[in-house]
Chain A
Amino acid sequence: MVKYPEKGEMQLLTDRPPQLETPLNIFRQDFTPNEYFFVRWHLSQIVTKIDVDTFRLYIGGAVDKPLALSMNDLKTKFAADSIVALAICSGNSRGTFNPKVPGTQWGNGAMGNARWKGVKLKDILAMAGVKPGALNVTFQGLDRAPLAGTPAFVKSLDIGHAIDGEVMVAYEMNGQPLPMLNGYPLKLVVPGWYATYWVGSLSNINVLTDTFHGFWMTKAYQVTKDPALNESPDSLAKTTVPISNINLHSIFVEPDATQPVNAGKQCLIEGLAFNDGTGIQKVELSFDDGKTWNETRLNPELGKYSWRRWKYDWVPGAAGMYHLCVRATDNNGHTQGNKQWNRSGYGRGFIEHLDVNVK
């Protein structure tokens, strides 16, 4: 565990660039405090010093009027918008894939739920005036690679998605400016999509009249077309697409499996379920390896792009090892599968297991 600037004690995965994981017990709250919110950068030269008075967000490309917006412009010339949304790394839970895959070996803590405040991207693009024929919009932050040849971290969205009224340029999370490690002063928020699109220290937005083919859209963050993001190590998918929507998943947060629980006493089991905004219909627990399922209590919905907390009061009978499974079902009736693997360890979404020692 380490203590990084503006952060509490977190799990350090790498330090150049920094990648920090949220401890699991933090997930017993609706919103993930900024000081415990996971950190993930791609290029090692991240912004370590910034003056918000001189900082500008540049909007260019196929627009009528290129813009250079100050933080003050963003806060005074546009209506403020707010949305609750889960930010989750594509590689969250990668460390639990079997067989193991290379990449940052995250546990379940490369995610967090926050209330984001900022300006609708649609409003910013309207002020710039998108030219007819626009197809893609690209996003880049102030982070750089040490080598000139390393592809710049640029992500893109289709123009229709960019102006859907939900994608946001955020200047606050949970009522505070973003920590520098989370992308201060601006972060792109793409509700329902994996956080690889949520570009931090966002400085450049570019409208294109053709399709963007940058490295981080066409070579990195590629997944199989299978909706469950499942492929076999023996026969990898021949064609891949950029990762996008958050896969349906549910995880255990309590009890802490390293500690025994008491037989005959009530034990609170709790956890999280989430997806891309389709919503969670139910979360169920099994104590008999999936033969029978017991519905949990869902906490009130905080917003369609928020995670959903669930709870279950369990009174274990006799002492012994208990094997628990959790599965979520979305509002379309789609439920989680029994197994999943893909070469990059992206979009974990299969049924999770927890062994609990009852004494």
Chain B
Amino acid sequence: MITDAELRALLLDCLRLWERPETVIAEAGGLRVGDCIIRRAQAPLRWVLASAARTRAVPSVVALLSALRSALGVEPGTRART
């Protein structure tokens, strides 16, 4: 299982990739990114992303990154083409 420290490092990389000014702050309730809070969720889900606008539960870190990207107002990413 990915640790909070590992998730924080990954999120910081994403913020740099998305050229966002936010940072990641560890709080008692989870990891805060701007107005969003990321918490662990019960199986079969893994994460909950809560923002002022909505709360979403997601099943994977890949889905979490997509949801955070959207919540921060970053334009949608590129869909892989094969």
A and B: bona fide binding partners = no
Chain B residues with CB under 8 Å of chain A are none
Chain A residues with CB under 8 Å of chain B are none
